């Protein structure tokens, strides 16, 4: 089961707000894709939250775009920033990236973002959102959301 960003934000608005702010704290994040041989590839990436979707824009024929065309599974890690202070915690999103080739949709994205042209544009379908943070300097807290389920919270000492 998958969901777009709007479905996640409707189901879990507080977690969605925290995740979006965490991604908004920095411009560049880390995208993991799968190479032809199945091994992981990590790449830097900018993301956008627009019109109820999480968008991934990429340079033409970049290796990460070619990876996603071949196998749409991805994991996206928010930039943790400098040092160890991760305000808002560590956040990760997993799912599938679906390339958008519809001219009208791409034109709408260009109006909002003004990316260098040409570019690949991928709309995401989320399969998991995870936030990890430290509470009261005592507990490691992990929040996990999957489509159709409430957030599960795990605390470890």
What is the percentage of the chain residues whose pLDDT exceeds 90?
81
Query: pLDDT category, 114, cuts 50, 70, 90?
Result: confident
pTM of the model: 0.92
The answer, yes or no, to whether residue 29 has pLDDT greater than 70, is yes
How confident is the model at residue 10, as a pLDDT?
Answer: 97
Structural domains of the chain, count:
1
How confident is the model at residue 140, as a pLDDT?
Answer: 93
What does the mean pLDDT of the chain come to? Answer: 93
Q: What is the pLDDT of residues 66-106, one digit of tens each?
A: 999 999 999 999 998 776 556 668 999 999 999 999 999 99
Closest CA to 132 of 119, 143, 121, 116: 143
Query: pLDDT category, 28, cuts 50, 70, 90?
Result: very high
Distance between CA atoms of 96 and 157, rounded to whole angstroms? 33
- Classify residue 155: in a domain, yes or no: no
Distance between CA atoms of 137 and 8, rounded to whole angstroms? 29
- Classify residue 151: in a domain, yes or no: no
- Classify residue 157: in a domain, yes or no: no
The answer, yes or no, to whether residue 26 has pLDDT greater than 70, is yes
- Classify residue 143: in a domain, yes or no: no
- Classify residue 153: in a domain, yes or no: no
How confident is the model at residue 143, as a pLDDT?
Answer: 97
Distance between CA atoms of 132 and 155, rounded to whole angstroms? 10
- Classify residue 144: in a domain, yes or no: no
- Classify residue 105: in a domain, yes or no: yes
What CATH number did the domain enclosing 27 receive?
Answer: 2.30.110.10
How confident is the model at residue 157, as a pLDDT?
Answer: 87
Higher pLDDT: 151 or 80? It is: 151
| Structural domain span for residue 11 | 5-129
- Classify residue 103: in a domain, yes or no: yes
CB neighbour class for 69 (10 Å; exposed up to 12, middle 13-18, buried from 19): middle
Closest CA to 143 of 131, 127, 135, 156: 131
């Amino acid at each position: 089961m998958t969901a777009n960003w709007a479905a996640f934000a409707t189901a879990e608005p507080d977690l969605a707000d925290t995740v979006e702010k965490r991604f908004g704290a920095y411009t560049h994040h880390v995208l993991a894709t799968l190479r032809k041989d199945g091994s992981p590839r990590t790449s830097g990436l900018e993301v956008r939250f627009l019109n109820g979707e999480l968008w991934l824009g990429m340079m033409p024929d970049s290796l990460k775009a070619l990876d996603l065309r071949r196998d749409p599974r991805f994991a996206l890690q928010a930039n943790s920033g400098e040092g160890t202070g991760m305000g808002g915690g560590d956040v990760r999103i997993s799912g599938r990236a679906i390339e958008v080739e519809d001219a009208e949709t791409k034109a709408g994205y260009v109006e909002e973002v003004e990316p260098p042209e040409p570019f690949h544009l991928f709309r995401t379908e989320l399969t998991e959102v995870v936030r990890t943070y430290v509470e009261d300097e005592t507990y490691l807290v992990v929040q996990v959301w999957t489509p159709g389920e409430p957030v599960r919270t795990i605390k470890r000492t």
